[in-house]
Structure 1
Amino acid sequence: MLLAIIAACEIGFWVLLAAGLAARYLLRWRRVSAVLLVGVPLLDVVLLTATVIDLRHGATAGFSHGLAAAYLGYSVAFGHGWVRWADERFAHRFAGGPPPRRAPRYAPERTRHEWREFGKAAIAWAIGCGVLLGMIAMVGDADRTEALLGWVLRLTVILAIWSLWPITHTLWPVRPGDGAGRDGGGDGRDSAAAGGGGAARR
């Protein structure tokens, strides 16, 4: 059931975001758009509440509880960037706005960009681990929360791997004249990162 709620929250995020932007740029309903977009962060509250209730009712923490904590962390840290990424494209397509920004390709701007993205990942890690440790303390039963400790390790490994990207750009920066370099003319991460993000929608 918790996995279904996580999936529903993710689907709900994109549905509310698309509906809010459509109301703003296609229908010119500014107030309706504001209400719809305010509903986006409430999805995280719903997920957190469902997770806590499940554990309060005696459930043994499993994969879905850890995934919920990780989802919350990345949602808060990167969600605002995802909203901005979508907003720029809606505004450009339907309201004559400027072309969407892209992630910088060359140092030093690209290096700073990668460290900012890593900073968001670190925030996601801190929030996710904080929620996991909070759930462990709330349950107070090591046998029922063993899986949550495993998720703390998973999130730490992900953050460590993520750190390789800004470190690489710091040690071997791509500069104009290097050709496509490591970027290969830009990757899929660039377009999403241009809006501020990789898992905070606020």
Structure 2
Amino acid sequence: MILLSRNAQQIFWLGRYLTRIQYLCSQFPFKYNDDALQYAHAFCLPAFDAASLNELILNPEQPASFHQQFQYAKDNIQDLRGVLSAHAYAELNQYIKNAKENPAYICDVVGDCHEVLEAEASDIFLFFKLGQHLEQLDRQLRLKQDIQGTVYYIEVVVGLLTQAGWDSLSEIWMKLKQQPDSMHFYQFSDHIQQLFEADA
């Protein structure tokens, strides 16, 4: 890979965290107890109705809160200073600063970051997309949502990564594609982690 493994992994997780925030923003505040319980059970969160889940999401001490997820994304951006262009790094930091000063802006920062990273080198955006789509697939499997579109995009990303040297990824991906369940998802996710570590 052209990118250092550690940098690629940080970009990958940035994609996952921002996508997680984006979906949470689209659902928050939860209005119906059934929807809240489905989400809480899917992600093993200690909530028993819409009100308690909304409270948890706003509690900065909770790992699943807006605050914590945003902090994870912020930390990844800070660690990418030597990888991103000076312009992109400055833009991302400005978005982060705006969101920190005005929490309501957190839900807008995902799209802004996506546009900035899309303009960066293709390998940077590739790992960002891998993180995005893997996070989407994780959520869709947990919540029993339609995965067809996400599977298509992961297929494209896997093809590009295979061409770039991650030859073993396609075989594991085919197993997940043929049997899309949590077990095969975690096998695929773990294999990606192993590839990051092998390239380190």
* TM-score above 0.5: no
